Amino acid sequence: MNFLWDGVKQAADLLTSGDPDTFEVVGITLRMALWSTFFALALGLPLGLALGLGRFRGRRPALAVANAGMGLPPVVVGLVVALLLFRGSALGDLNLLYTLNGVILAQTLLALPLVVAFTAASVQSLPEMLIDQARALGASRIQVGALALREARVGVLAATIAALGSAFAEVGAVVLVGGNIEGETQTLASAVLVRVSAGEYGRAIALGTILLGLILLLAAVLTFAQQHERRPLLGRPS
């Protein structure tokens, strides 16, 4: 227990002393997590809306694929992306292998099924009368989608929290696609792995503590937004 407490104190020392290596890896971690979550939301929200509101052939198999995608092994995804990014491969000309952008791409693919599945499930749980009423009032598809997202925002924010948590915790894809290069593609999670491998357990606990602190902070902010009092769009007094 003393060993763990020493690691926590070391984490505080690293932050208060302005350790450049620590702040560098924190910055890389935040860029990777925030950008991958942004891209996953940009792609996943429209897909989730289509699956949740649409009535088209192949919808159920698509939902099954999205749900199955939540269990994708990160190492397998990282391996496939790395193979596609190798020189001479399909995406080799993009020069994304062993770069932060390549890591963001891999993590976006991992987070995308989470966003799609959570959004679709949240939209499907809305009262059908709400959507029907909006359509009867002449709302466009974009307006209906905006209404559905607003009313299902608890689930959408849960998807955001899940995507961020996946990004912060990811190691396999970071190592395979990014190469875990210190100062370039190494994140807090992969740095912990390196420190443990080197026998630097105190430093590993310190970095792990910082990682947990970031996760708790962002999750707290998003949870506050998630639990904020809902205000209905329809039936609002004029």
Cβ atoms 112, 167 nearer than 8 A:
no
Say how many C-beta atoms besides its own lie within 10 A of residue 209's C-beta: 21
Here the tokens at position 182 are 């210190």
Superfamily of domain 19-226, CATH level 4? MetI-like (1.10.3720.10)
**pLDDT value of residue 7:** 66
| pTM as predicted | 0.86
**pLDDT value of residue 1:** 56
Say how many C-beta atoms besides its own lie within 10 A of residue 32's C-beta: 26
**pLDDT value of residue 75:** 92
Q: Which residue type is seen at 144?
A: V
d(CA 146, CA 139): 10
DSSP 95: -
**pLDDT value of residue 72:** 87
**pLDDT value of residue 165:** 92
The domain limits of the chain are 19-226
d(CA 91, CA 114): 24
**pLDDT value of residue 3:** 61
Here the tokens at position 203 are 């430093």
d(CA 23, CA 35): 18
**pLDDT value of residue 235:** 47
d(CA 56, CA 90): 32
DSSP 92: G
Closest by CA to 49, choosing from 114, 130, 144, is 144
DSSP 93: G
Question: Could you give phi then psi for residue 229, rounded to 5 degrees?
Answer: -55, 130
Close Cβ partners of 188 (under 8 Å, ≥ 6 residues apart): 25, 26, 29, 168, 207, 208, 210, 211, 214
Here the tokens at position 119 are 């959004």
Q: Which residue type is seen at 188?
A: L
Give first-to-last CA distance, the chain, whole Å: 60
pLDDT along the chain (238 residues), means of 10: 66 76 92 96 94 85 91 91 91 92 96 95 86 80 85 88 92 91 92 86 84 90 72 46
